[in-house]
Structure 1
Amino acid sequence: MAAQPEGTPCWADAMFSDVEGAKTFYGDVLGWTFGEASSEYGNYTQAYSDGKAVAAVVPPMPGQEGPSAWCLYLASQDVAAAAGKIRDNGGEVLMEPMQVGDFGSMLLARDPSGVVFGVWQAGTHEGFEKKSEPGAFSWAEIFTREPEKSDAFWPAVFPYGVQRMDDDAVDYKLFALGGETVLGRMKMGDEFPPEVPPYLNVYFGVEDCDAAVAKATEGGGVLRFGPMDTPFGRFAALSDPQGAAFSVIDLNTTRGDVPKTTDVS
């Protein structure tokens, strides 16, 4: 497989104090199965959908316990160069570029508005083996209270083209690579309590949004928004039992016209 274009969402993982609980929850909601924990890499455990790698879960390292959250990784040909761009554009490198065996190299960073993300330079692990299907990563959105900071940062670090959605009701932009949209950017409004930090929201595909929501809430998850029909699919925003935010989307159930956009890059 050729290297993915710079800035392409390529992997997602999350840290859970109760990994077995997370495996049970996401197995029920998304149909995931799990591989063996890799003790050499902190018991990092890959999740699979139809036998294809789609995400991973891992327990916290001693002393690094904190709120559970999904982390989205963006592809890079050179994580060291990416770290320089992040710093040059007002971001913060939280974990310096690190080699992960022959799998690849990674870093963790925070944009100037507080959104945490990862960067992945592929080795033998090239990222998602399945995308935009049930059980797999399907979309992601940057939720920020300071859109002007995010809007300046992301296209400076990655080669994104930028489009503004022509909708007076929301402040929403789209980041694209080679004409294909890869990320959304949404301004957080008053519907988000002050204690909710800016974050990158990851969407996983499902066959039936309402059925997935029912399984999630039965399993101790919390419905935050939806289900709602959109031109892009029927989706709902959730928190899992350990507090990690994520969304589910049925890409095949669409309603309404796709909003018009204006190029701003």
Structure 2
Amino acid sequence: MTHPTPGVPNWVDLGTADLEDATRFYTELFGWEADVSGEEYGGYTTFRLDGRAAAGAGPLYGEGQPTAWSTYVATDDADAVAARVEAAGGKVLVAPFDVMYQGRMAAFLDQAGAPFSVWQPGSMKGADVFDVPGALAWNELATRDVEGSAAFYGAVFGWVAREISVQGLPYLVWELAGKTVAGMRMMDATWPQDLPPHWMVYFATADCDESAAYAQSLGAQVARPPSDVPIGRYAVLEDPQGGLFALLQSVTA
């Protein structure tokens, strides 16, 4: 793949309470192959789609840490991002560090408490495949502080928030240099109050209903059943360890 564009999401990975079962679930669901790293990487698993890196997974390291998918934004300077995060009111959870020769990463909380990460590529550039069934299709922040989040990510990555309408409801897309890179939705009163702000990852599918049903047969729970939106059809699922993710069948799928 070409070198990732700084400021654009380029990788997602799963921190899970049961890496073996998560590997079973996702490889069955998306047809991924599991490429397990050596001990020096703690058994980190790269999921490949037709040989190309699609996503990753690893065990949980913090006590009480929930199973969750993480969104990584590409950068050419993780340390500079860390400084901007703190200046904008966020928090550095994991300070920038080198992952051997693979790259450099850091993890943060935004001003409202949503976790996200950055990846400064070394030999590992990020995902090699996007927008085909089984690959990453969209990254979306769900937050109760839309204005604060728009200001925060604008300061950190230079994103510009633009409001659009989805089924008559306001929705924001983030643009960088005129290109859409991510989305944001408001967590209104209909969202569970104990659900914190978070980044949702969407994986492409050719048939949302079929994939959601198959995920259930593999042990997933349906958090939001397949629903139509202007760009296609989507569903939100909870994997067997409790990790939330979404399926997206685009209108061109």
| TM norm structure 2 | 0.95
Q: Note if contact 2:54-2:127 (Cα within 8 Å) is conserved in structure 1.
A: yes
- 2-structure distance, mates of 1:169, 1:188: 16
Structure-to-structure mapping, 1:30-49, within 5 angstroms: 30-49=30-49
* Runs of 5+ consecutive residues of structure 1 not aligned to the other structure: 255-265
Q: 1:101 to 1:64 in 2, by over 3 A?
A: farther
- 2-structure distance, mates of 1:163, 1:37: 40
Q: 1:144 to 1:36 in 2, by over 3 A?
A: same
- Paired position in structure 2 for 1:215: 214
- Root mean square deviation of aligned Cα: 1.6
Which secondary structure state, in structure 2, belongs to the residue aligned with residue 67 of structure 1? coil
Identity %: 37
- 2-structure distance, mates of 1:130, 1:212: 19
Is residue 88 of structure 2 the alignment partner of residue 89 of structure 1? yes
Q: Note if contact 2:166-2:229 (Cα within 8 Å) is conserved in structure 1.
A: no
4+ aligned runs moved over 3 Å, structure 1: 166-169
Larger mean CA deviation between 95-104 and 1-10 belongs to 1-10
Q: Note if contact 2:102-2:121 (Cα within 8 Å) is conserved in structure 1.
A: yes
- Paired position in structure 2 for 1:3: 3
Structure-to-structure mapping, 1:125-164, within 5 angstroms: 125-164=124-163
Deviation sequence 1:136-188 (CA, Å, 0-9, x none): 10001100011121111011111212211146943421101232211101000
Q: Note if contact 1:38-1:45 (Cα within 8 Å) is conserved in structure 2.
A: no
1:99: Cα distance to partner?
0.4
1:2: Cα distance to partner?
4.7
Is residue 164 of structure 2 the alignment partner of residue 165 of structure 1? yes
1:33: Cα distance to partner?
1.2
* Runs of 5+ consecutive residues of structure 2 not aligned to the other structure: none
- 2-structure distance, mates of 1:4, 1:56: 17
Which secondary structure state, in structure 1, belongs to the residue aligned with residue 169 of structure 2? coil
Q: Note if contact 1:229-1:253 (Cα within 8 Å) is conserved in structure 2.
A: no
- Paired position in structure 2 for 1:124: 123
Larger mean CA deviation between 157-166 and 109-118 belongs to 157-166
Q: 1:89 to 1:19 in 2, by over 3 A?
A: same
Deviation sequence 1:227-260 (CA, Å, 0-9, x none): 1122212111111111111001112458xxxxxx
The total of aligned residue pairs comes to 253
- Paired position in structure 1 for 2:22: 22
Larger mean CA deviation between 165-174 and 1-10 belongs to 165-174
- Paired position in structure 2 for 1:60: 60
1:28: Cα distance to partner?
1.8
Is residue 10 of structure 2 the alignment partner of residue 13 of structure 1? no
1:64: Cα distance to partner?
3.8
Deviation sequence 1:98-154 (CA, Å, 0-9, x none): 100111000000101111000110001000100111111000110001112111101
- 1-structure distance, mates of 2:178, 2:231: 17
- 2-structure distance, mates of 1:251, 1:45: 28
1:38: Cα distance to partner?
2.7
Which secondary structure state, in structure 1, belongs to the residue aligned with residue 36 of structure 2? coil
- 1-structure distance, mates of 2:34, 2:94: 26
Is residue 228 of structure 2 the alignment partner of residue 232 of structure 1? no
- 1-structure distance, mates of 2:170, 2:196: 18
Which secondary structure state, in structure 2, belongs to the residue aligned with residue 35 of structure 1? strand
Q: 1:214 to 1:253 in 2, by over 3 A?
A: farther
Q: Note if contact 1:144-1:185 (Cα within 8 Å) is conserved in structure 2.
A: yes
- 1-structure distance, mates of 2:135, 2:4: 17
Q: Note if contact 1:209-1:249 (Cα within 8 Å) is conserved in structure 2.
A: yes
- 1-structure distance, mates of 2:38, 2:249: 32
